[in-house]
Amino acid sequence: MTKTRVEFRSDNCGRAAPELIEALVAANTDTELGYGGDALTATLQSRFSDLFEASVQVFPVPTGTAANALALAAAATPFGAVYCSPEAHIHTSECNAAGFFGGGTKLVPIEGPHGKVNPEALELAITTAGKGLTHKSQPAAVNLVQATDRGAVYSLDEIAAVSQVAHAHGLTVHMDGARFANAIARLGCTPAQASWRAGVDVLSFGVTKNGGLLTDAIVVFAPESATDIGFHLRRAGAVWSKMRFASAQIMAYVADDLWLRLARQANAAATRIAGQIESVAGVTIIAPVQANELFVEMSAATLAGLEQDGVLFYRRGPRLARFVCRWDTSEDDVAALVGSIVRHTAAS
């Protein structure tokens, strides 16, 4: 019998929620028009308009990178600048996608705590960017990652503060919601409150990391942007002909609050781990554990010890580990990780 891995590498290492696969099975009847012309994709539009309490447009897309890059390409001119945290996924981990889709669009890092964009720093960056000067990349959009790439969650006020700065200068607010469910679960607010009501114009709506299989989505709150996005998506080869199988997954994902239940499970595992290691000597949690990720500093010996124990995780620095919990992270996983940390810190 294969031993289950003690897996904390990424939420994308996790299983799909069975409900999404059942939805695929259920969608596999009769024929349907391709490229989003099917009934399920039409239903998805109204379902999300209900969910977000507004008339929105939803575009299922294969990956979060496609969602981010295409949402930004539709928002920014080729001579535009997109502001983001230096920790932002679009900046660190998407292999020039934003620049490629945007025809050269430049990413400009803005400091802030725990992977957040600080609104004062954003204001300063925009006002000193040289708006109207042709030498300069023109301020076009700001990218917020929710939950952040450090495992923190923007409060509604924090989102609103960034959005106000952005909108005052005519920028589009894009939220990379790869872990939007984890953030909503944490905030205990509605999807509308955490998005357009706080100023978000376009949202990368994550599914994959939270029990999905092969689809994420773009949610557009400003309908005038939606036409262009459709063409950008098609030009990018990001429109499935059998779209209904993507739409079916997303419908199942938001049915009966499944997405929030899954996210709560992942968040709870992270919270439990944090609670059990925060007072351990030799352990420093460097960012608030508000979603499903922990960033933890430990000695090199401890990190090596964890690896010897078979704990799977990524190093983010010589002494920095990232642990990611999933909807299906078990009590045993938590216990194994905590036990290993406690054992190796005591030894060193």
CA distance 201 to 223: 10
Burial of 85 (0-12, 13-18, 19+ CB in 10 A): buried
Q: Which residues from 146-205 bind a copy of itself, rule CB under 8 A?
A: none
In the stretch 39-78, what mask flags binding to a copy of itself with x, by CB under 8 A?
----------------------xxxxxxxxxx------xx
Measured from the CB atom, is 105 or 163 closer to a copy of itself? Answer: 105
Binder among 80, 112, 177, 199 for a copy of itself (CB under 8 A): 80
* Residues 9 and 314: beta-carbon distance below 8 Å: yes
* Residues 191 and 184: beta-carbon distance below 8 Å: yes
Q: Which residues from 91-130 bind a copy of itself, rule CB under 8 A?
A: 92-107
Binder among 239, 269, 334, 336 for a copy of itself (CB under 8 A): 239
- State the nearest-atom distance from the C-beta of 208 to a copy of itself, in Å: 6
In the stretch 14-33, what mask flags binding to a copy of itself with x, by CB under 8 A?
xxx-x--x--xx--xxxxxx
Binder among 135, 224, 256, 279 for a copy of itself (CB under 8 A): 135
- State the nearest-atom distance from the C-beta of 82 to a copy of itself, in Å: 11
In the stretch 290-319, what mask flags binding to a copy of itself with x, by CB under 8 A?
----------------------x-------
Q: Which residues 6+ apart lie within 8 Å of 23 measured at CB?
A: 248, 249, 251, 252
Q: Which residues from 199-238 bind a copy of itself, rule CB under 8 A?
A: 208-209, 212-215, 228, 230-238
Measured from the CB atom, is 52 or 240 closer to a copy of itself? Answer: 240
Binder among 205, 245, 253, 327 for a copy of itself (CB under 8 A): 245
Picking from 179, 188, 197, 173, the residue whose alpha carbon sits closest to that of residue 53 is 197
From the centroid of its chain, how far is CA 68?
9
Q: Would you count residue 331 as binding a copy of itself (CB under 8 A)?
A: no
Q: How far is CA 227 from CA 47, 56, 97, 172, 309, in A?
A: 20, 12, 21, 16, 52
Strand partners of residue 106: 81
Q: What are phi and psi of 159, to 5 degrees?
A: -60, -45
- Taking 3-state DSSP, the helix, strand and coil percentages for the chain, each rounded to the nearest 5, stand at 45, 15, 40
* Residues 218 and 61: beta-carbon distance below 8 Å: yes
Which range binds a copy of itself by CB under 8 A, 110-118, 131-139, 190-198, 261-269? Answer: 131-139
Q: How many residues bind a copy of itself (CB under 8 A)?
A: 82
- State the nearest-atom distance from the C-beta of 266 to a copy of itself, in Å: 13
Amino acid identity for residue 215 in this structure: T
Measured from the CB atom, is 135 or 256 closer to a copy of itself? Answer: 135
